Structure 1
C-alpha cells in the first residue's frame, strides 16, 4: 500500500535549442498530489498522467540549459543536475534490473547494492544521463493470480469473453505498477533517479520472458495482446514519462507503433531503436523501425554515436547452440531465449542489415560508433573490424540487480567465442576481454560508466566483487 508521494523520477524528453527538456514523474496515493517543480526560469504544477487503482502518476515538464550545470526544486529540496553536455561528462548504463522468479521478495539491500554503488559514484563525480538498457522490471510473474494468465504462456484460453479480458487488464495494470513502484521506494535508487535524467530502451522482461520470440498463437491471442498493451502503457509512463499520443519529440514515430528514439548534443548522439515492440519470431523490427535506423545511419554526424542494442549485436556463433537445442528435447524450452538473439538463424538477414548500417556510420569521417548492450547477465566487450582501421566497439553491461549465472556458463561462452564470427565479409567479430579480467565473459553484477574528457571517450565497468575495471579507450 502506497502511503506517501514517490519521486521525482527524472526523464529526458529531448535535447533541442540548447536546452534539456525534462519530465519529472511522481507517484502519489489517491487523494494526494505533488506540489510544483521550480527552476530559475519557471514554476510548473504537476498534472495527472495516468491512473491506477493503487496510485496516480503525475508529470511536470520543464527545461534547463544544456550547456551549464543547473538545478530544480521540489518540496523544499533542490536537485543539482550535471546538465552541461558541451564539455567533459559522464554517462551511466545499466540493464537487467530484476530476476525472473521471486524478485519482489528479495532482500532490498542485497538486490539494490549496485544502485547504491552508482549513487555513490554520482556523489563522487556526477552523471549527466542514466541509460537503461532493457529489462528495467521483470514482469514475468505479473501474470500470476488471474485465471486467464496464470499458466501463461503454456496454456491460455482460446476465446475469452470481453469482460474477462477487461478483468485481466485491471489485474495486470496493478501488477505492473507494483513492480515499478517497488523500485522507486528504494532510497539509493530514488536518490539517483531524482538527479540524473533517464533514457530507456525496453526488452522482453519489461513485457514477459521471450516476448516476440514466443509462438504467434501466444503473442497474438487476446491474452497476449492484453499483456502487451498493459506493459507498453507502463513502459511509456514509468520509463518515458508519457502516454500514447503524447510522445516527446525524440521518438521516431509519434504514433508510438515502435518506440525508437534519438537525441543529440555537441559531439554526442544516442540512438535507442525499438528491438522488442515490433519483434516476431521472424523479424526484429518492422518497416517503421528499420526506416528510423536507416535515416539515422545516413546523418552526417561528427562525434561519438552510442547505439543501444538491448540484445548484444556483436556476439559468438550462437546458431550452433541454437541447432543443438532444437535437437535436444530437454533443451527446447530455451529455444525462445536463443531466438531473441541477433545471431539466431531466424534473424540472420536482419543481423547483417543492422551490422551494415553500423559499419556505414563507423566508416564516416569524424564519427565513432559504440554499441551498448545488456540482456545476458554477464559483462563482456567485442570489436568488429572496419575499413577505416577504427573498430566498432560493443560494451555489454548486464546484471545491475540480476545475480550472475554460473561461472561455467561464462567459460562456455568464452570457449564458443573462439570460433569467431564474420556475418559481413571482411568484418570479423572478436570477443575481447574487459581490461583487468582473465575471461572474456565476467559473471559478476555490474554497471558501465562512460566518460568524455576533451575529445576522448573511456569506458569503465563497475563490478560488485571485482571493483572498477581499468579504463578502456573507445
Structure 2
C-alpha cells in the first residue's frame, strides 16, 4: 500500500524519554472510507488510535504510547516494528534535509529520487538509529500553488480583493496539493520500515511552505493569498511532520503560543533544539519575540548540544556576495536566496545574537550545529579550540547536486572567512577525506556516540562514507 491507494504509515514521531521509557506518537494515513487502524500493542497493553484530522480524501490517525526501556518495539496491524529504546549508551542518529526539488518532483523516477533514502534504510537495517533528524525542506511545495486562479501566478501577481468563497476554494486546493506531496514522501517504497522504526524530529524551511517564504516582499506574504498559503502549510507541517494539531503545540514546542515552532528535546547526555526560522520571519528579521525568548531561556542539561538550524549558522561572507549581486541587474532575482541566509546584511545583528547564544551554551557543553538547505555537503568551525563550535551541513538527500564548478567557486569565496564575533573566526573546512570545502553530491549524515564520545560520518552519493569526524 502507498501513495496511489491513500495509505501510509505508521510513521513515528519522538515525544521524549525518561525513566518510564520512550514516548512516541505513530501516525497512520488512510482513505476516509477505510476505517480506523487497529490498536498498537506494546508491553503495557493495547493502545487505541485517535483521529487527528481529515485532509482532502485522507484520514490521519495517531497512536500515543510509551515503550519501556529495552522493549523490542510495537505491533500494529499484523506487523512487528522494532525500535531502539535504550538511549543512555551507544546510540546512532541520522540527519537529512532537502527531500525534493522545486520543479517536477512528483514526476521523477522514484528509484533515482530515493536512492540515498534506500542507502539510509540499508544503514538502519545494519545498525539501528535511535532518531531521525530532518533539517528542513522535507517536501518541496513550490508547485502546490499551481492550478488555482488565486495562486497560479504566485508570488508575482495576486488578486487585489479575493472573496471568502474563493479563499475557501484555494484552501481546499492547497490542502490537496500539500497532502499529495507528503504522501509521496511518507509512502515511498523502501522507506516504510525506516519511518515505522525510527522516530523523527523535524524543523521546517522555506520549501515546506514555498520558495523564499519570509524573504519575499511582505506585500506577498501578508496578502490574503499568502496568509492562506501559510496557514495550510503550517497545518500540514504539524500533521505530517509532528503528528500534531494546534492543541498539541504547548506540549511540543518551546513557544506555547505557537507563533514560533522551535522545539527542544532531551536524551540521556544530549540536549537537542531547533529554532524555527520561518514562522516569524520577514525581510528584516529571522525570528520574533517568541523565538528569541525560547532560545535565550534554553539551558542545556546534557554532555553535548545539537542545534538544528535549517539555514547554516556558520557560513562565508555572503553579505559581500549580496552587495555584488545587487549592482548586477541580471543577478538581482537571487536576492531572496541571499536574504534567506543568516549572513545577509538584513540579519547580521540577529546572526551575532544567535552566535552569542551558542557560545553561552558552549560554556555548559560542546555544541554541534546541524544544517542543510544549500544542496551541498560541508562543515565549519568557529572560535579557538577551547570553545570550538562545529557545524555539519548535510543537504540534498534527494535534491540533485549543483554543478561541481559552483561548489569550487563557493569554496574559493569561503576562503575569505568571517569573524562576526571578535575572537571567534569562522572557517569553512573540507569534509574528512575530501580536498575541497564543498562537495557537490547528494548526501546524508550519521552521528554515533561510542563510549560517551560523538563522531560524524557523511554518506556521499558517489564518494561513499567519509572517515569519521570527532566532535569535541
TM category (shorter chain) comes to over 0.9
- 1:352 paired residue number: 352
- Deviation, 1:253, is 2.0
Alignment root-mean-square deviation, CA: 1.2
Deviations 1:235-260 (A, max 9, x none): 00000000112236341123311111
Deviations 1:144-200 (A, max 9, x none): 000000010011111111111010000000000000011122121122100000000
Deviations 1:57-82 (A, max 9, x none): 111111113x4353001011111111
- Deviation, 1:2, is 4.5
Shift in CA distance, 300/146, structure 1 to aligned 2, threshold 3 Å: closer
- Distance in 2, matches of 1:148 and 1:281, equals 23
Pairing 1:63–2:60 present: no
Equivalent pair of 2:250/2:258 in contact (CA under 8 Å): no
Bigger mean CA offset, 68-77 vs 152-161? 68-77
- Distance in 1, matches of 2:8 and 2:39, equals 14
Choose the corresponding residue for 1:435, options 418, 432, 435. Answer: 432
> After superposition, where does 1:424-463 map in structure 2 within 5 Å?
424-463=421-460
- Deviation, 1:50, is 1.1
Pairing 1:292–2:294 present: yes
Partner SS state of residue 32, structure 2: coil
- 2:414 paired residue number: 417
- Distance in 1, matches of 2:194 and 2:469, equals 25
- Deviation, 1:3, is 2.5
TM-score when normalising by structure 2: 0.97
Partner SS state of residue 313, structure 2: coil
- Distance in 2, matches of 1:57 and 1:47, equals 9
Partner SS state of residue 63, structure 2: strand
- 1:373 paired residue number: 371
TM-score when normalising by structure 1: 0.97
- Distance in 2, matches of 1:209 and 1:155, equals 15
Equivalent pair of 1:14/1:249 in contact (CA under 8 Å): no
- 1:170 paired residue number: 172
Equivalent pair of 1:245/1:255 in contact (CA under 8 Å): no
Pairing 1:142–2:144 present: yes
Partner SS state of residue 181, structure 1: helix
- Distance in 1, matches of 2:441 and 2:9, equals 30
> After superposition, where does 1:4-19 map in structure 2 within 5 Å?
5-19=7-21
Partner SS state of residue 123, structure 1: helix
> After superposition, where does 1:307-346 map in structure 2 within 5 Å?
307-346=307-346
- Deviation, 1:42, is 2.4
- Distance in 1, matches of 2:390 and 2:217, equals 33
- Deviation, 1:313, is 0.3
Deviations 1:66-115 (A, max 9, x none): x4353001011111111211000000000000000000000000000000
- Deviation, 1:16, is 4.1
Pairing 1:101–2:103 present: yes
Partner SS state of residue 351, structure 2: helix
Equivalent pair of 2:16/2:23 in contact (CA under 8 Å): yes
Equivalent pair of 1:165/1:223 in contact (CA under 8 Å): yes
Equivalent pair of 1:14/1:248 in contact (CA under 8 Å): no
- 1:266 paired residue number: 268
Shift in CA distance, 83/124, structure 1 to aligned 2, threshold 3 Å: same
Bigger mean CA offset, 343-352 vs 11-20? 11-20
Equivalent pair of 2:382/2:424 in contact (CA under 8 Å): yes
Equivalent pair of 2:7/2:187 in contact (CA under 8 Å): no
- 2:121 paired residue number: 119
Choose the corresponding residue for 1:81, options 83, 88, 92. Answer: 83
- Distance in 2, matches of 1:293 and 1:168, equals 35
Pairing 1:469–2:471 present: no
- Deviation, 1:437, is 0.7
Partner SS state of residue 188, structure 1: coil
- 2:246 paired residue number: 244
- 2:392 paired residue number: 395
Bigger mean CA offset, 137-146 vs 261-270? 261-270
